[in-house]
Amino acid sequence: MLITFNGQPREVPPGRLSALLVELLPASGCGAGVAVAVNGEVVPRSAQAECWLRPGDVIDVVSAVPGG
Amino acid sequence: MIVRAESGGTIPDDDVLVIAGEPLSSRFFLGTGGLPRLSLLESVLAAARPGLVTVSVRRTSTREPGGLLGTVRSHGVRVLPNTAGCLSAREAVLTAELAREALETDWVKLEVIGDESSLLPDAVELLEAAETLVAKGFTVLPYAPPDPVLARRLADVGCEAVMPLGAPIGSGLGVLDPWTLEAVVAAVEVPVVLDAGIGTASDAARAMELGCAAVLAASAVTRAEDPPAMARALRLGVEAGRAARSAGRIPRRAVARASSPMTGRIG
Amino acid sequence: MPRAVLQVTVLGAGIIGLTCADELRRRGHRVRVLDPHPGAGASYAAAGMLAPDAESWHGERELFELGRESVAYWSALAERLGIGLHRRGTLLVGHDAADLQAATRQADLLAHLGVPPRRLGRDALRALEPGLGRVAGGYLLTDDLSVDPRAAVAALRSRLADVLEPVAGDLGDATRAEADAVVVATGAELPVPFTHLVRRVRGETVRVRCEDPPAHVVRGEVRGQPVYLVPRDDGEVVIGATSEEHDAAAVATLGGVARLLDAARPLWPGLDRASWLQVVARDRPGTHDNRPLVGPTHLPGVLLAAGHHRHGVLLAPLTARVIADHLEGGALIDAWDPRRFDERNPC
């Protein structure tokens, strides 16, 4: 199904947000420092396994960068 | 808590900067945007010894690129995410929420820009975002125009500090309007942090002499020819200005007033 | 005693991979170059300024000196490839007073580095380039040259046609086993386990055809926005470039192009009559300390020739020498040793 990931359209299999993140974020074992929003709402780490993706979902993943 | 200054002197316990009940180790805050190479961050942090370090939040597909957070935290400094680039209250609120989740802090430097060429804040969206974020439990430090009336409104809706600009971001022009800055200091009880426009150490000292509780600088450091040296200079400038403020300066007079005795002169 | 003939596999056929392969062949070694899209990465967008002077910055003296060394090697390389070098020099200008201050900072740095550029007022600049727009003043940098990277890549591909294979290549056991060494020159995307050493810095460039292009490379800041105009012999002018840290695919944006044109047009008003050729965005490979990654890694037999950021075209011939010298006898530029990051935890 088609979703938008960080502004780019992407074809992904249906599933949980947590599974998608594991696949799309390179495995580095660093843990914290990243946050995810689905359709403009933050989905905390604790809720990512219970979040089921739907076609057309807009997903944004952010982390800290130098700035300010 | 004693903070040891470069010269060997100390800042007394009763002059520690407290924001939202949290004591901060320094009145000099550092922004991280604009460094010519990431490898400078370590030496800049060591020279600046800042009380807070600001970072931005952006889309990414890698966890913690470049080790930014690790480097900052290894210096024991609190990280303050900003909502730089947001043009509306809605965007700023979402960015703040993402930052809270990513960086595990309730503190946010709220920026809502109204004009992309001057980068001046949008006061209306800023106030709305501040109110929303305070209600959501954030500790809000808003970047604001130098305006005592707006400063009072921001403090009234629950912001824990006010951060008026001295001059446009990156302009290096220092404090363009000292009288209005003093009016902001007088208008609110919360700490006033001069943010934006700092060019060099004397600008930072000036802001502190005008009554600011702290100074935030980014471009002044990151775009200087020698960023670690300028970070040190600004840190010292902030300390000097604060010390001068507390020492009670002499009045400015139009006529001379001799400092040596007039009686007993030879001839 | 004759030198051993080495079998080297080069991953990546951009300017770096191709010059490394070419140098190794020139020294009598056998090479294979693997790339499904040769020359399609940053080399395709690059303007090709060979500009150690204009690009220098504080705290990067050794990059400046190595850059100058590499410019010297470009003459021989260009001749061997049968392509020309643009030798008219660079005008470093400022549009307004603050822009001129920025140019003066650069000039002061160059004076400090021993190569003071000549200061030129408005009239002198217009005499050199009658088409120049409103400028507050500037400097002439005579030692910065330029080359057309696409012409260089085409010439290299032609010379290496018999060993260039349109496949991706990897660092698997098979690849490593069949060669004495593997040189990784894949640009902004390095294979595991080196991926974290390089971050993507997108650059947008615009190519136009100008009836009356500048004779020199013209660069500087216009109201704080850096811009450059690099002319080719046939009237093509490369306008560049933006620089943006990001993680998504490198696409050209309207905003980026608008910023470049807003800066380019005041410098060269004749651009308004230029015809569109192309807008290209690609990723530069950035490193933590702005120095390239050239040399051996913790994996035996695997070398990197990567992380050149803004200086790929400039440093290509020097990189090729370092790689070949290292493979033949272990020499290295210490500052470029990829193993300097081995203790750094990518987290």
- Residues C263, C134 share a domain: yes
Nearest CA in chain A to C247: A6
Nearest CA in chain B to A34: B102
- Residues C240, C156 share a domain: no
Element (H, E) at C249: none
- Residues C100, C217 share a domain: yes
Structural domain includes residue C62: no
Nearest CA in chain A to C245: A65
A contacts of C347 (beta carbons < 8 Å): 28-30
Would an 8 Å CB–CB cutoff place C172 in contact with chain A? no
Among candidate residues B49, B78, B100, B109, the one labeled active-site is B109
Phi, psi of B202 (to 5 degrees): -65, -30
- Residues C167, C226 share a domain: no
- For the stretch B216-248, pLDDT in tens is 999 999 999 999 999 999 999 999 999 999 999
**Which tokens go with C243?**
């620089």
CA pair distance B46, C67, nearest whole angstrom: 30
- Please indicate whether, in this complex, the C-beta atoms of B41 and A66 are within 8 angstroms of each other: yes
| Strand C199-209, strand C275-286: pairing | antiparallel
Number of compact structural domains in chain C: 2
- For the stretch B183-195, pLDDT in tens is 999 999 999 999 9
- For the stretch C78-126, pLDDT in tens is 999 999 999 999 999 999 999 999 999 999 999 999 999 999 999 999 9
Number of Cβ within a 10 Å radius of residue C104: 16
CA pair distance C158, C152, nearest whole angstrom: 10
- Please indicate whether, in this complex, the C-beta atoms of C248 and A6 are within 8 angstroms of each other: yes
Q: Is B136 a catalytic residue?
A: no
Is C120 within 8 Å of C140 (Cβ atoms)? yes
What's the mean pLDDT when you consider all of chain B? 92
Domain boundary among C266, C286, C306: C286
- Residues C176, C129 share a domain: no
- Residues C278, C227 share a domain: yes
What's the mean pLDDT when you consider all of chain A? 86
Would an 8 Å CB–CB cutoff place C61 in contact with chain B? no
Shortest distance, CA C247 to any CA of chain B (angstroms): 6
- Residues C118, C135 share a domain: yes
Residues of the domain holding C330: 7-49+149-198+288-341
The pTM (predicted TM-score) of the whole model is 0.87
The minimal CB distance from B37 to the residues C248, C289, C346 is found for C289
Domain boundary among C286, C304, C320: C286
**Which region holds residue B99: left if phi is over 0, alpha if psi is between -120 and 50, else beta?**
alpha
Structural domain includes residue C74: no
Q: Is the pLDDT of residue B116 over 90?
A: no
Over residues C265-280, mean pLDDT: 97
Structural domain includes residue C170: yes
- Residues C117, C106 share a domain: yes
**Which tokens go with B210?**
């005008």
Over residues B72-95, mean pLDDT: 95
